[in-house]
Structure 1
Amino acid sequence: MNGVPDLELRSRTGGSVAFAVRELGGRRAMVVEIAGEDRGALRPADGENLAIAARTARDQRLPLICFVESSGAAIEEGVAAVHGWGTAAREFVACSGVVPTIFCVTGPTVSGPALLLGLADLVVMVADSYAFVSGTHMVRQFTGEELSNEGLGGASMHERTSGVAHFTVADRAEADDLIVELLSFLPDHTDQVPVGWPCADPVDRPTPEAGDLVPDTATGSYDVRDVLACVVDDGHLLEPRAQWAPNLVTAFASIGGRPVGLIANQPQSVAGTLDIAASQKGARFVSFCDAFNLPLVTFVDTSGFYPGKDLEWRGMIR
């Protein structure tokens, strides 16, 4: 495949899945599109195509980018469609920690395909999209609760409440630009280091303003992102999960032109203490940076774990 700028491996021939090796911002990646017939309902052949795409990305050491809009397994195909989805899920799991996996939800994504989002390293959701495993009708039947699609699984909910969405964007064009930027911080696979870029911001630039931002008193509050911006190249941060578990900030940035991961307590939110969500957010980000050779820069300003019966009962130790 090397040297081929744009290779169509499997077009959408009567199904809902197409995939190809394409260039995104000068980077080669396996790009998968799940959409098309019957609102993207997945048939056995679609599951096979998804599995082939993921396996090829892993074998060729290419980032895996998946745009998804799907109503789930095609009901008329029965167990065969569910088996196809399971085969695809197994291949996506095998990509974990080997190649970066980015999902973009472009429309309604329900049932099995929604579960694939949990296997991605990064999830981008278009503002008017939604994703859930069990729909509003099922919720009403089992619980009596009336919910809209957006209330149950909208992009805003997944950005703020569930943490499924790392980023939300206005439309597909903005999603494409964001994915290109994300790839610029990442290598193609786990055996590479991120390439980086030339940078005019001197690595030895003094940053006295960072110290000025930190209050003299231990109880003082400040936005740690202002401190981070002082330290990194050109003050630029790309922050996944910015609205979820805001007491811990995770971000991509560069120092001296080299991509890095940042992790920092956020004194503006519950004094930067760690609860279950923040711990999960931090652990997942650290694992991702470790897998793809991003140096970690850590900023610590916290009194420790958030105390309380609720957190202990929900498994803070675990």
Structure 2
Amino acid sequence: MSRYVRVTRFGGPEVLEVVDDTEPHAGSGQVRVRVHFAGVNPVDRKIFAGGETAARWNAVPPYINGNDYAGVVDQVGAEVDGVRLGDAVFGGARHLAQADYVVVDADTVLHKPGGLSMQQAGALDIAGRAAIASVRTLRLSTDDTVFVSAAAGGVGVLAVQLARLAGATVIGAAGLHNHDFLRSLGVIPVLYGEGMVERIRDAAPAGVTAALDYHGVESIDAALELGVRPERINTTAAKTYRPELGMHTVGGQVATPAELERLAGWIADGSVVLPIEAVYPLERVREAYQHLAQGHLRGKLVLDLGAESEPTGS
């Protein structure tokens, strides 16, 4: 049998159910992955809430929740090269990931570097791709001072580090409890809320040249008030806001597997940090999404599928 998280109808976390079904099996060109950890992402919540996001991702209940996963290959189908039984892999599989077993095309899995934890790998696909693509879009350099909202969150924490690697000065908005952490990454922290624009001006007397928004409309308005040109703003949190301005709305879909592998390697060797805020057993998936909705995270949340103590192989 195989457990998975089923979305029974659209709504809040209460629509998520953990159910049992027969195990899937790998077909030709496919591998089966025994999932160890699966990611918890804001887009998952937007999809199971219904509406435009659900329609965009072709979500029709009942379906399996989630996208990010990491685990060990335990079945290999015919005509598969480059992936073997026992390989530790990770990736993204929309409407498949939060399950004991995921069957995917073999050419979609990425091999997990040794220094990357299984928890981090299970949280990486969406956040990593979004951070890579959004930072790349602004073509940051040593001449830039970039404002990043939700700077300690799942995407933001990676984006601030990629921006720093590009040479930019980074100002990150976050709650007070994350300020020391951001400083440890070389980021200048500022507090959200009333007076944030003034605090950013104080932190960047020479001005702000770019903005990465992972929070929403208030952060975009702040960037505009600071004089950031619309073509140097990228938002993944408010993509339909003021389209006439021509701001970028680039998300993770345009990041390449090679770029994600490179980021995984940086996390593995310590060049980039990806904190895991909390780990929930699969049976507490509703609590995980309630935690996510509260915001102010440091890094990512993941679901534990209880496989780490199991032997690898088939």
TM-score w.r.t. length of structure 2: 0.26
Larger radius of gyration between Structure 1 and Structure 2: 1
TM-score w.r.t. length of structure 1: 0.26
| Bigger helix fraction | 1
Which structure has more relative contact order (CA 8 Å, sep 6+)? It is 2
